[in-house]
Amino acid sequence: MSDMSVAIPRDGLVAVVKRDCPTCVLAAPVLAELAAQGGIVVYTQDDPAFPEDIADRIDDTGLDVSHRLGIEIVPTLIRFQDGQDIGRTYGWDRAEWERISGFQGIGAGLPAFRPGCGAKNVEPGVIERLKVRFGETGLESRRVEIGDGEDEFEAMFERGWSDGLPIVPPTEERVLRMLAGTSRDPQEVLGLCPPNLVPATVEKIAINAVMAGCKPEYLPVVLAAVECVLDPAFAMHGVLATTMFVGPVVIVNGPIRRQIGMNAKGNALGQGNRANATIGRALQLVIRNIGGGKPREVDRATLGNPGKYTYCFAEDEEGSCWEPLSTDFGIARGVSAVTVFAGFGLQGVVDQKSRTPESLTRSMAGSLRAIHNPKLAPACDAILVVCPEHERTFRNAGWSKRRVYEELFHLCEMPADPLIAGADGIAEGVKPALAGGTVNKFRSDGLMIVRAGGGAGMFSGIIAGWSTPGPTGSLPVCREVKS
């Protein structure tokens, strides 16, 4: 429907009201006065029988006229002259109504002023529908029509849009609501999305966020996560195309975590929290749909891992004695940020007996040295997710995160001889040229430490990475969340 189909008087007074608004009810007798004196066209947004004293009131329950007039508050009184809006006022304000109507002394028994109410045409859910109907969405993506006889969920599966689980149909209205979650221009290009190097616009990312099940307020986090993987340092093409298990692991810091209700506590890496689940899923859908990266095509993973559906959690900054992960990347504490790491799975660190930091770091280092294969070093970058009851041991001993890192790094420096290829009857291993020396399981700063998890249980976790870490492969990338 175009604007042309909405007929609006070219001259005279126009009012827009709704019965649900007490100020409209209060001002209804004034509208009757104006109708009697010189005529007025009254549009009603909710009840076609309101106002009762206006005989030729016009039903605008479809809200087309209200939308065309840009009504935000009811009652609104407008004067038109030669098709031009030459004055309007909102709510009941006798002086303003007198000025615009040209009649003095109207509404004599009423108070001088009463604020109006929100108009129906700008209510959430309604404004998007009207924009779609009037062709004002500004959305540029191709429209895909699903026939009446077609199940839209099945149709989306058949088009290959899904990761294997049902997705939310990305209607124009839903995508408009999603885009309300950011102030960024829908056509802003965040970068070229691997593997096909397609420009990833805010609009395309919003469509995939809708499908993943995100709320609009999650969108800034999704956008930051996409910015991270599009940074060449992350090497998303390689992370996708590798035969190894890895996919993007998303860790969120700062106030946005609590604003959108993310889980950093019990079962933080598990199921059940909408923000955790859908933000990670949206990132995967972006790679799949915008970038064209699909399993058994460019994604050559031998086994993959369940985290390739979604892998996203928040750090428990409030429960931690350490600085948040994002500060390791130079972002100030208190600033919302997303870190993305090419990782997979979770290897448990079970230690229920250590009560000193020395014992606990030895225990953790033993698990860390087993990543990928105990005989491989350096193996990969990794994230150690420290649970509250393990962190308590470090907190009570006054160990900073840096000290924990340095101790673990030191404990992961190993004599090379037992690791050499062929040693211990195992063909896998490090180069013979390293014999007599030492090797470290990690590159410098290749081990990150994050605090998450529920109160009970001495169970930390290791998220291992890709076997091509660092500048020649994938580096973890952190980005500030922009509103």
Partner 1 sequence: MTVLLDPTSERSPAARERLARPDRLEGLTVGLLDISKPRGDVFLNRIDELLTERGITVKRYMKPTVAKPAPLPLAQQIGTEVNLMIEGLAD
Are 220 and 482 within 8 A, CB to CB? yes
Instruction: Pick the stretch among 10-18, 98-106, 206-214, 473-481 that binds partner 1 (CB under 8 A).
Output: 206-214
User: Does 207 help bind partner 1 (rule: CB under 8 A)?
Assistant: yes
Cβ closer to partner 1: 172 or 323?
A: 172
Tokens encoding 378: 């350096």
Instruction: Pick the stretch among 153-161, 228-236, 369-377, 382-390 that binds partner 1 (CB under 8 A).
Output: 153-161
**Least gap, CB of 121 to partner 1 (angstroms):** 21
What's the sign of the alpha-carbon dihedral 261, 405, 348, 224?
positive
User: Does 237 help bind partner 1 (rule: CB under 8 A)?
Assistant: no
User: Does 196 help bind partner 1 (rule: CB under 8 A)?
Assistant: yes
Cβ closer to partner 1: 156 or 462?
A: 156
User: Does 307 help bind partner 1 (rule: CB under 8 A)?
Assistant: no
Cβ closer to partner 1: 56 or 145?
A: 145
Beta bridge partners of 114: 92
Tokens encoding 326: 């994002």
Q: In what helix (H) or strand (E) does residue 350 lie, and over which residues does it extend? A: strand 337-350
User: Does 204 help bind partner 1 (rule: CB under 8 A)?
Assistant: yes
**Least gap, CB of 58 to partner 1 (angstroms):** 29
Tokens encoding 222: 């999704």
Cβ closer to partner 1: 170 or 429?
A: 170
Least Cα distance to 278 among 187, 212, 346, 232 occurs for 212
Cβ closer to partner 1: 117 or 226?
A: 226
Report the alpha-carbon distance of residue 253 to residue 480 in Å, rounded: 9
Instruction: Pick the stretch among 75-83, 123-131, 285-293, 392-400 that binds partner 1 (CB under 8 A).
Output: 285-293
Are 352 and 392 within 8 A, CB to CB? no
Beta bridge partners of 399: none
**Least gap, CB of 112 to partner 1 (angstroms):** 49
User: Does 468 help bind partner 1 (rule: CB under 8 A)?
Assistant: no
What's the Cα-to-Cα distance from 139 to each of 186, 206, 344, rounded to whole Å? 8, 11, 36
CA quadruple 247, 249, 250, 251: dihedral, nearest 10? -170
Residue partners of 195: CB distance under 8 A and separation at least 6: 237, 240, 241, 291, 292, 293, 298
Cβ closer to partner 1: 139 or 439?
A: 139
User: Does 295 help bind partner 1 (rule: CB under 8 A)?
Assistant: no
User: Does 146 help bind partner 1 (rule: CB under 8 A)?
Assistant: yes
- Footprint of partner 1 (CB under 8 A): 139, 141-148, 152, 156, 158-159, 161, 169-172, 175, 196, 198, 204, 207-208, 211, 285, 289-292
